[in-house]
Amino acid sequence: MSTEGTGNRTPDRPIPIQSTTEPSGAIDFFRDRFDLSEQGLEAVLGTALERSVDRADLYFEYTTQDSVSLEEGLVKDGSRHVEQGVGVRAISGERQGYAHSDEISLDSAQLAAGTARAISETAQSKTSAVAPHASSTHNLYPLDVAPTDIPVGQKVDLLSEIDAYAHRLDPSIKQVMASVISQHRHVLVAGSDGVLAGDIQPLVRLNVQVIASDGEKFEVGYDGMGGRYPLERLMQDEIWKPLVDEAVRVAKLNLQSIACPAGTMNVVLGPGWPGILLHEAIGHGLEGDFNRKKTSAFADRLGQRVASRGVTVVDDGTLPERRGSINVDDEGTASRRNVLIEDGILVGYMHDRLNAELMGMEPTGNGRRESYAHLPLPRMTNTFMLAGEEEPEDIIRSVDRGLYAVSFGGGQVDITSGKFVFSASEAYLIENGQIGAPVKGATLIGNGPDVLTRVSRIGHDLALDRGVGTCGKDGQGVPVGVGLPTVRLDGLTVGGTEG
Amino acid sequence: MSGWNEINGKALVDRAVQRATQAGADQVDSVLVLSNSQEAKVRNTEIETVKQSQERCLGLRAMVAGGKGRSTAVTSTSDLSLDAIDRLAEETVALARATAPDPHAGLPDGPFAEGSIDLGLADPADREVSLETRIEEAKRAEAAARAVDPRIDNSEGSQVGSDWNHIFYRNSLGFAGDYESAYHSIFSEPLAREGDSMQRDYWMSVARRLSDLEGAEQVGREAGKRAVRRLGARRPKTGEVSVIFDSRTAPSLLGHLSACVNGYSIYREASFLASRLGEKIAASSLTLIDEGCQPAGLASRPFDGEGLPTRRNVILDQGVLQTWLMDSYSGRKLAMQSTGSASRGAGSGPGVGTTNLWLEPGPDSWDDIIAQTDKGLVVTELIGMGFNPTTGDYSRGASGLWVEKGEILYPVEEITIAGNLGDMLMDIDRVGSDLRWFGRTAAPPLRVTQMTLAGE
Give the C-alpha separation, B332 to B82, whole Å: 35
Res A4: pLDDT: 30
- Span B8-15, average pLDDT: 95
pTM of the model: 0.90
Give residues with Cβ within 8 angstroms of B379, minimum separation 6: B243, B244, B245, B246, B249, B398, B399, B400, B417
Q: What is the span of the domain harbouring residue B57?
A: 4-98
pLDDT tens column, B200-225? 999 999 999 999 999 999 999 999 99
Q: Is the pLDDT of residue A5 over 60?
A: no
CA-based nearest residue to B35, from B162, B207, B177? B162
- Helix/strand/coil for B16: helix
The DSSP annotation for B388-401 comes to -TTT-EEEEEEEEE
Could you tell me if B223 and B277 lie in one domain?
no
Neighbour-count burial for B150-174, b at 16+ CB within 10 Å, e otherwise: ebbebbbbbbbbbbbbbbbbbbbbe
Q: Are strands B239-245 and B446-454 parallel, antiparallel or unpaired?
A: antiparallel
Give the C-alpha separation, A15 to A41, whole Å: 11
In chain B, which residues have their Cβ closer than 8 Å to the Cβ of A94? 46, 48
- What CATH number is associated with residue B51? 3.30.2290.10
User: Which DSSP letter does residue A349 get?
Assistant: -
User: Which DSSP letter does residue B259 get?
Assistant: H
Q: Is the pLDDT of residue A247 over 50?
A: yes
- Does residue A417 sit at the B interface (CB-CB below 8 Å)? yes
Inter-chain contacts counted by CB atoms under 8 A, chains A and B: 262
- Does residue A339 sit at the B interface (CB-CB below 8 Å)? no
User: Which DSSP letter does residue B211 get?
Assistant: G
Contact A197, A41 (CB under 8 A): no
| Percent of residues, chain B, with pLDDT higher than 90 | 89
Q: Tell me whether residues A211 and B269 touch, CB distance under 8 A.
A: yes
- Span A405-426, average pLDDT: 89
Q: Is the pLDDT of residue A7 over 80?
A: no
| Percent of residues, chain A, with pLDDT higher than 90 | 70
Which residues 12-41 of B have a C-beta within 8 angstroms of A?
none
Please indicate, yes or no, if residue B61 is contained in any of the structural domains. yes
Could you tell me if B293 and B394 lie in one domain?
yes
CA-based nearest residue to B231, from B143, B148, B141? B148
Of B131, B239, B395, the CB nearest to A495: B395
- Across A302-311, B50-59, B296-305, B425-434, least confident range: B50-59
Res A410: pLDDT: 81
User: Which DSSP letter does residue B212 get?
Assistant: G
Please indicate, yes or no, if residue B171 is contained in any of the structural domains. no
Nearest CA in chain B to A258: B393
| Average confidence score pLDDT of chain B | 94
Please indicate, yes or no, if residue B105 is contained in any of the structural domains. no
Could you tell me if B253 and B374 lie in one domain?
yes
Q: Is the pLDDT of residue A6 over 90?
A: no
Res A460: pLDDT: 98
In chain B, which residues have their Cβ closer than 8 Å to the Cβ of A123? 46-47
DSSP 3-state helix, strand, coil percentages of chain B (rounded to 5)? 25, 40, 35
- Helix/strand/coil for A41: helix
Please indicate, yes or no, if residue B104 is contained in any of the structural domains. no
Q: Is the pLDDT of residue A167 over 60?
A: yes
Q: Tell me whether residues B388 and A153 touch, CB distance under 8 A.
A: no
Interface mutation target, options A51, A104, A264, A293, chain B, most CBs of B under 10 Å? A293
Strand partners, B73: A78, B62
Domain boundary among B188, B210, B229: B229
Q: What is the ipTM of this complex?
A: 0.88
Please give the helix or strand (H or E) that residue A351 lies within, else none.
Answer: none
Looking at the complex, report in whole angstroms how far the Cα of residue A492 sits from the nearest Cα belonging to chain B: 9
At A499, the pLDDT band (50, 70, 90 cuts) reads low
Please indicate, yes or no, if residue B170 is contained in any of the structural domains. no
Looking at the complex, report in whole angstroms how far the Cα of residue A245 sits from the nearest Cα belonging to chain B: 20
Res B5: pLDDT: 55
Q: Are strands B393-404 and B375-383 parallel, antiparallel or unpaired?
A: antiparallel
Could you tell me if B222 and B254 lie in one domain?
no
Give residues with Cβ within 8 angstroms of A86, minimum separation 6: A58, A59, A60, A61, A100, A101, A103, A104, A105, A108, A109, A112, A372
Nearest CA in chain B to A372: B53
Amino acid at B218: Q
Q: Are strands B203-207 and B356-359 parallel, antiparallel or unpaired?
A: unpaired
Which residues 344-363 of B have a C-beta within 8 angstroms of A?
347-349
Q: Are strands B176-194 and B375-383 parallel, antiparallel or unpaired?
A: unpaired
Q: Tell me whether residues B385 and A497 touch, CB distance under 8 A.
A: no
Could you tell me if B260 and B378 lie in one domain?
yes
- Helix/strand/coil for A372: coil
pLDDT tens column, B423-447? 999 999 999 999 998 889 999 999 9
Could you tell me if B191 and B73 lie in one domain?
no
Contact A99, B51 (CB under 8 A): yes
Could you tell me if B147 and B271 lie in one domain?
no
The DSSP annotation for B131-153 comes to HHHHHHHHHHHHHHHHHT-TTEE
Could you tell me if B207 and B240 lie in one domain?
no
Res B3: pLDDT: 47
**Maximum distance among all alpha carbons in chain B?**
72
At A496, the pLDDT band (50, 70, 90 cuts) reads confident
Res A212: pLDDT: 95
In chain B, which residues have their Cβ closer than 8 Å to the Cβ of A80? 73, 75, 91-92, 95
At A51, the pLDDT band (50, 70, 90 cuts) reads confident
Looking at the complex, report in whole angstroms how far the Cα of residue A346 sits from the nearest Cα belonging to chain B: 18
pLDDT tens column, B81-136? 999 999 999 999 999 999 999 999 999 998 999 867 889 999 999 999 988 899 99
Q: Tell me whether residues A414 and B200 touch, CB distance under 8 A.
A: yes
Looking at the complex, report in whole angstroms how far the Cα of residue B117 sits from the nearest Cα belonging to chain A: 31
In chain B, which residues have their Cβ closer than 8 Å to the Cβ of A409? 385-386
At A131, the pLDDT band (50, 70, 90 cuts) reads very low
Give the C-alpha separation, A81 to A245, whole Å: 31
Strand partners, B342: B352
Looking at the complex, report in whole angstroms how far the Cα of residue A241 sits from the nearest Cα belonging to chain B: 22
At A111, the pLDDT band (50, 70, 90 cuts) reads confident
* Centroid of chain to Cα B345: 14
Kindly report the number of other CB atoms within 10 A of residue A151's CB atom.
9
Q: Is the pLDDT of residue A200 over 50?
A: yes
- Helix/strand/coil for A395: helix
pLDDT tens column, B334-347? 999 999 999 998 88
Of A2, A78, A442, the CB nearest to B98: A78
- Does residue B6 sit at the A interface (CB-CB below 8 Å)? no
Could you tell me if B194 and B49 lie in one domain?
no
Strand partners, B319: none
Which residues 383-412 of B have a C-beta within 8 angstroms of A?
383-386, 388, 390-391, 393-397, 399
CA-based nearest residue to B74, from B88, B87, B55? B88
- Across A206-210, B2-6, B307-311, least confident range: B2-6
Nearest CA in chain A to B350: A77
pLDDT tens column, B142-175? 999 999 999 999 999 999 999 999 999 999 999 9
Nearest CA in chain A to B51: A98
Give the C-alpha separation, A275 to A380, whole Å: 13
Looking at the complex, report in whole angstroms how far the Cα of residue A30 sits from the nearest Cα belonging to chain B: 16
At A23, the pLDDT band (50, 70, 90 cuts) reads low
Could you tell me if B308 and B341 lie in one domain?
yes
Could you tell me if B382 and B347 lie in one domain?
yes
HSE (side-chain half, CA atoms, 13 Å) at B301: 26
Please indicate, yes or no, if residue B431 is contained in any of the structural domains. yes
Res A22: pLDDT: 66
In chain B, which residues have their Cβ closer than 8 Å to the Cβ of A414? 200, 381, 383, 399
The DSSP annotation for A407-428 comes to EEEEEEE-TTT-EEEEEEEEEE
Residues in chain A: 499
Please indicate, yes or no, if residue B115 is contained in any of the structural domains. no
Please indicate, yes or no, if residue B73 is contained in any of the structural domains. yes
Which residues 86-125 of A have a C-beta within 8 angstroms of B?
94-103, 108, 111-112, 115, 119-120, 122-123
Res A265: pLDDT: 94
Q: Tell me whether residues B238 and A262 touch, CB distance under 8 A.
A: yes
Res B112: pLDDT: 96
Strand partners, A177: A71, A209
- Domains present along chain A, CATH in parentheses: 147-186+200-256 (3.30.2290.10), 263-495 (no CATH)
Which residues 438-457 of A have a C-beta within 8 angstroms of B?
440-443, 445-447
Give the C-alpha separation, A37 to A370, whole Å: 25
Residue B170 main-chain phi, psi, to 5 deg = -150, 140
- Across A141-145, A221-225, B271-275, B284-288, least confident range: A141-145
HSE (side-chain half, CA atoms, 13 Å) at A19: 10
Q: What are the start-end ranges of the H helices in A200-318?
A: 231-234, 237-256, 276-277, 288-292
Strand partners, A405: A269, A427
Q: Are strands A196-213 and A74-92 parallel, antiparallel or unpaired?
A: unpaired
Query: Structural domain tally of chain B?
Result: 3
Kindly report the number of other CB atoms within 10 A of residue A138's CB atom.
16
Could you tell me if B225 and B255 lie in one domain?
no
